[in-house]
Amino acid sequence: MVLICIFLFFVAVQVAYALYFFRRILSLPHTLALPAKDRRPVSVIICAKNEGGNLKQNLPVILEQRYSNEAGVSLYEVIVVNDASDDDTAHVLMGLEQYYGNLWDVIIPGDAVRDLKGKRYALREGVNAASYDWLVFIDADCVPLSDVWLEKMVAPLAGGKEIVAGYGGYHKEGGLLNAFIQWETMHTFLQYSTYILAGKPYMAVGRNMACTRQAFRTAVASPTWNALQSGDDDLLVSIAGNRDNVAVVCDELAFTITKSKATWGEWVRQKQRHLSTGKYYKTGIKGLLGLYGASHAGLWLAFFAMLFSHHPAFVISVMLIRCVIYWGLWAAAAHKLRGKSLIFLFPFFDIAWMVYNFALLPYITWKDKKNWK
């Protein structure tokens, strides 16, 4: 009887969480076109450390965005911060600068005295060099899916928002690892986007986000900003975001895409960096995210234990209710995020996410990853 009560409690928490947060994905607002008269100049900032190959491939797409004023004059610049690279990054940038007048580079020497950890130093140098107050961030290994990406990402800034969270996906490739990375990325977006819609912003992804210069300055001024080598994107939202000043852009034309990690080891090390930031979120956010993760793990553990009890039919029926709700909402997210091919794997990934949380628990709760690359 005690185990049944525990199981029902976890089911209730999961259902309540889905109906309060995740259901908001169904009403995610569509991003309208930004009229030329409402456009303001934008600085796109890319931090690059040994990214010569990626810059050569991806920068032209970023530099050929359709973002201009009513007279057809381009309204954006692209600043690449070359953070002590020892590959051909400088040579690639020099070549591209001959063709694109709106491309600038900032060079950080290897012996630079840094007062900020990891990527934050490069980010600040890029923002300091930026000419404009609307800032858009993208990673060197990412490419926009359209030539109106920039227009879509800054549209909420024109409407008075200070931070914009976009979606950064991965190329679809073969293999279970790639499929799980796509699902986990979709699941993460589902979480932070619906939290934003509920007035509880806590993160975004640095490979596709925008903000005002003032929001960036607010984040930099906080002692929490320099707590880690990585996690600058999450902490910017956590520090400078509030229930009214953060927007979500979920428009395929505004997505960015990149290659996923090729091995489980590389992906785990990447997730260790990302998850280290969570312990610096606001207390209420940490509590809600912790409750979601704990109820998810407890739900599946109790379910498997009770399959061998005297009431397996009841347990399976209740679990089906929970799964129909979750898998239905995940399917809605998948349709919005170019992930329809993942739908048949939802049962497997649902259970795998429990294993994922147990495996990475030290980085979720107390350990910090020491590098940003």
Q: Are residues 209 and 262 in the same domain?
A: yes
pLDDT of residue 309: 74
Q: Give the end of a domain, one of 255, 278, 301.
A: 278
Is there a domain that residue 56 lies in? yes
* pLDDT at residue 220 is higher than 80: yes
Number of domains in the chain: 2
Q: Are residues 258 and 313 in the same domain?
A: no
Percent above pLDDT 70 for the chain: 94
Q: Are residues 179 and 108 in the same domain?
A: yes
Sorted by sequence, the CB contacts under 8 Å of residue 86 that are 6+ apart come out as 50, 110
Q: Which comes out higher in pLDDT, residue 270 or 304?
A: 304
Sorted by sequence, the CB contacts under 8 Å of residue 358 that are 6+ apart come out as 297
Q: What is the pLDDT of residues 191-207, one digit of tens each?
A: 999 999 999 999 999 99
DSSP H or E segment with residue 116: none
Q: Confirm if 48 and 106 have CB atoms less than 8 A apart.
A: no
* pLDDT at residue 216 is higher than 80: yes
Q: What is the pLDDT of residues 298-355, one digit of tens each?
A: 999 999 998 887 778 899 999 999 999 999 999 999 999 999 999 999 999 999 999 8
Q: Are residues 193 and 64 in the same domain?
A: yes
* pLDDT at residue 227 is higher than 80: no
Q: Which comes out higher in pLDDT, residue 284 or 368?
A: 284
Q: Are residues 239 and 304 in the same domain?
A: no
Is there a domain that residue 373 lies in? no
Is there a domain that residue 219 lies in? yes
Give, in order, the Cα–Cα distances in Å from 78 to each of 65, 102, 130, 223, 229.
11, 6, 9, 29, 24
pTM: predicted TM-score of the whole model, two decimal places: 0.92
Q: Give the end of a domain, one of 244, 278, 312.
A: 278
CATH number, domain with residue 74: 3.90.550.10
Q: Are residues 127 and 21 in the same domain?
A: no
Q: What is the pLDDT of residues 146-170, one digit of tens each?
A: 999 999 999 999 999 999 999 999 9
Is there a domain that residue 104 lies in? yes
Is there a domain that residue 59 lies in? yes
For all residues of the chain together, what is the average pLDDT?
91
Is there a domain that residue 372 lies in? no
Q: Are residues 85 and 106 in the same domain?
A: yes
Domain that holds residue 323: 2-25+284-365
Q: Are residues 233 and 355 in the same domain?
A: no
* pLDDT at residue 3 is higher than 90: no
pLDDT of residue 274: 58
pLDDT of residue 159: 94
Q: Which comes out higher in pLDDT, residue 366 or 311?
A: 311
Rg (CA), the chain: 21
* DSSP category for residue 86: -
* pLDDT at residue 131 is higher than 50: yes
Is there a domain that residue 371 lies in? no
pLDDT of residue 116: 82
Q: Which of 194, 240, 196 is nearest to 217 (CA)?
A: 240
CA gap 205, 162 in Å, rounded: 15
Q: Are residues 101 and 173 in the same domain?
A: yes
Q: What is the pLDDT of residues 170-195, one digit of tens each?
A: 999 889 999 999 999 999 999 999 99
Average pLDDT on 274-289 reads 81
pLDDT of residue 372: 44
Q: Are residues 115 and 145 in the same domain?
A: yes
Q: Are residues 95 and 12 in the same domain?
A: no
Q: What is the pLDDT of residues 22-60, one digit of tens each?
A: 999 998 888 888 999 999 999 999 999 999 999 999 999
Q: Are residues 21 and 33 in the same domain?
A: no
Q: Which comes out higher in pLDDT, residue 207 or 227?
A: 207
Q: Give the end of a domain, one of 278, 303, 337.
A: 278
